[in-house]
């Protein structure tokens, strides 16, 4: 049963907040051993872990998927699948194109010009989970922004890539798909092995061991962010209870640890949503969603929507839906991974085809950043050019500050140009 909590019940709200902060400590201990093994033994460790965790013999099937397997995958996907991919890809690409930082130059005064140039990363690895469901949409979300940014080589890794994943990669022109998953896949692309190229950055969602590996390697290899269980918060006091329930249930079917919360000032609507959720779970027979909603699902009753907004900003959820009567609060939302406005904007639209990215921060990380974007795949490099006159104008400030820091050679490097 989806629990109903009063916003005045501070202990219950605290328990809910703590439940969404999945601990990576145990996973980190396991991941650390795997990372060390891959660093020391390379391909040998990858072969051993693939056999242990994925039931794959990489020596027999190969580290990479063959072109023949990809051609066969095209025969296995549903009719209309490629067309749907192209619709989604077009919208994702258009959105990503607006995200690339621009090069610019500007004068800071006589004889001083500053600016930035943009350079793409050389190689990116996109991790696609191989768990309960095939996730071709994650291929689109990871690959397209990197392509828009101009990344020179993009590879995909997935422990047992489904036909839909292989076809999505092929439609996007990706030629290298690896059969690696878990923490060992992250290690392989962070360090590089004989069979696996080292990547500048690794992006994409995964289980807690993937998240732990990314966290441990963040200083050695670029990552997008450490992502935990998926989250949705819906706020509003007027809306269709079945639509609201459908979004909560859809979020909960991701994972037993997924979080789905409805915050409302209408007790009547809250109870109708609770009833609709129960009916939907029975109709659709979704054991994973039922488990997630029983553990981390909630309806929070507030005296007004102003308090609902405060709760949202405290949670900083991955997905946030503002129902029609709550859209007016958009300017007051400070932290969320992706926001959906109005009753006809289901989260599933952003998951697949509206164009926004579904690789998003969780566990409160939306306080620090938004979702994956084309800007994550480039380097913005500062550039400056000073004339002798321009340097002369700055000389007093540079020399004074350098001497204040005790860096005499810094000061001298400027003064020597005028001696």
Q: Which of 28, 254, 318, 358 is catalytic?
A: 318
Cα dihedral sign, 354-357-363-368: negative
Interstrand relation of 123-127 and 378-386 (parallel, antiparallel or unpaired)? unpaired
CA distance 264 to 240: 13
Task: Name the residue among 314, 332, 338 with its Cα closest to residue 17.
Answer: 314
Q: Which two tokens stand for residue 275?
A: 């009833």
Asked if 103 and 115 touch (Cβ cutoff 8 Å), the reply is yes
CA distance 283 to 342: 26
72 is catalytic: no
Q: Which residues pair with 222 in a beta bridge?
A: 201
CA distance 145 to 153: 13
Q: Which of 28, 64, 164, 319 is catalytic?
A: 319
Residues 6+ apart with CB under 8 A from 98: none
CA distances from 225 to 174, 214, 230, 237, 337 (A): 23, 8, 13, 33, 12
* Active centre residues (catalytic): 318-319
């Amino acid at each position: 049963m989806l629990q109903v909590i009063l916003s005045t019940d501070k202990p219950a709200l605290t328990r809910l907040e703590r439940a969404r902060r999945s601990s990576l400590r145990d996973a980190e201990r396991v991941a650390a051993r795997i990372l060390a093994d891959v660093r020391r033994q390379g391909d040998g460790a990858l072969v051993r872990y693939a056999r242990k965790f994925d039931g794959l013999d990489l020596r027999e099937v190969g580290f990479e998927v063959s072109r023949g397997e990809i051609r066969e995958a095209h025969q296995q996907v549903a009719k209309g699948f490629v067309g749907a991919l192209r619709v989604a890809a077009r919208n994702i690409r258009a959105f990503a194109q607006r995200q690339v930082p621009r090069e610019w130059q500007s004068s800071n005064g006589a004889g001083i010009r500053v600016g930035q140039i943009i350079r793409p990363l050389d190689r990116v690895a996109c991790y696609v989970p191989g768990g309960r469901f095939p996730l071709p949409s994650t291929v689109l979300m990871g690959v397209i922004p990197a392509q828009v940014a101009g990344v020179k080589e993009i590879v995909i890794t997935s422990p047992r890539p489904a036909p839909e994943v292989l076809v999505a990669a092929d439609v996007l022109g990706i030629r290298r798909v690896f059969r690696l998953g878990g923490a060992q896949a992250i290690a392989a692309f962070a360090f590089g092995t004989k069979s696996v190229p080292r990547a500048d950055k690794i992006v994409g969602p995964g289980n807690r061991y993937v998240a732990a590996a990314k966290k441990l390697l963040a200083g050695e290899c670029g990552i997008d962010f450490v992502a935990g269980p998926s989250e949705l918060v819906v706020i509003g006091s007027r809306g269709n209870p079945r639509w609201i329930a459908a979004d909560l249930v859809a979020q909960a079917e991701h994972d037993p640890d997924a979080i789905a919360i409805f915050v409302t000032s209408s007790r009547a609507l809250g109870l109708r949503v609770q009833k609709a959720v129960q009916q939907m779970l029975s109709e659709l027979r979704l054991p994973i969603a039922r488990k997630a909603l029983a553990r981390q699902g909630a309806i929070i009753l507030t005296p007004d929507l102003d308090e609902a907004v405060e709760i949202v900003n405290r949670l900083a959820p991955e997905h946030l839906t503002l129902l029609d009567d709550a859209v007016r609060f958009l300017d007051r939302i400070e932290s969320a991974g992706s926001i959906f406005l109005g009753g006809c904007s289901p989260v599933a639209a952003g998951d697949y085809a509206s164009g926004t990215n579904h690789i998003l921060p969780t566990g409160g990380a939306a306080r620090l950043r938004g979702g994956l974007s084309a800007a994550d795949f480039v380097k913005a490099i500062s550039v400056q050019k000073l004339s002798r006159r321009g340097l002369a104008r700055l000389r007093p400030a540079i020399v004074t500050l350098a001497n204040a820091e005790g860096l005499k050679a810094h000061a001298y490097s400027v003064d020597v140009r005028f001696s």
